[in-house]
Amino acid sequence: MTIRFEITTPLGFHVRTTETHWQRLIIKHPDIADLEQFVQQALHSPDEIRRSSRDECVFLFYSIRKPQRWVVAVARQLNGEGFLITAYQTDAIKEGVTLWPK
């Protein structure tokens, strides 16, 4: 299992993803393939972090890419470990408790 990247978040936990998971992610979201740097930036120095309204262990890290367009990295923290669930672009911030305004 090859680690693609591991990033420390402002919330104090690390988020990692494997090469295999990243390849699956960009098949599902091909528009993210060239935006890995934005995904890492969203995790490391986000513009906003929200806790999922459905799962308290899931966090959404938002990074503004251009006006009204964000790259979102979605990560789960479980037993002190964090891993990337998915990443995508969006034009709206989802509901959820804001944990980190920049």
CB 62 within 8 A of CB 49: yes
CA 79 vs. chain centroid, Å, equals 18
Alpha carbons 32 and 39: distance in angstroms, whole number: 8
Domains of the chain, by residue range, sit at 3-95
pLDDT tens, 29-45? 999 999 999 999 999 99
The predicted pLDDT at position 80 comes to 83
Q: Which residue has the higher pLDDT, 4 or 68?
A: 4
State the pLDDT at residue 100. Answer: 83
Place of tokens 């990243």: 22
Q: Does the domain at residues 3-95 carry the CATH identifier 3.30.2310?
A: yes
Q: How much is the pTM?
A: 0.94
Q: How far apart are CA 93 and CA 60, in angstroms?
A: 9
Alpha helices, DSSP H, located in the chain: 19-28, 36-44
Q: What is the pLDDT of residue 102?
A: 65
Distances (CA, A) of 40 to 8, 30, 37: 10, 16, 5
pLDDT per position as a tens digit, 45-81: 999 999 999 999 999 999 999 888 999 999 999 988 8
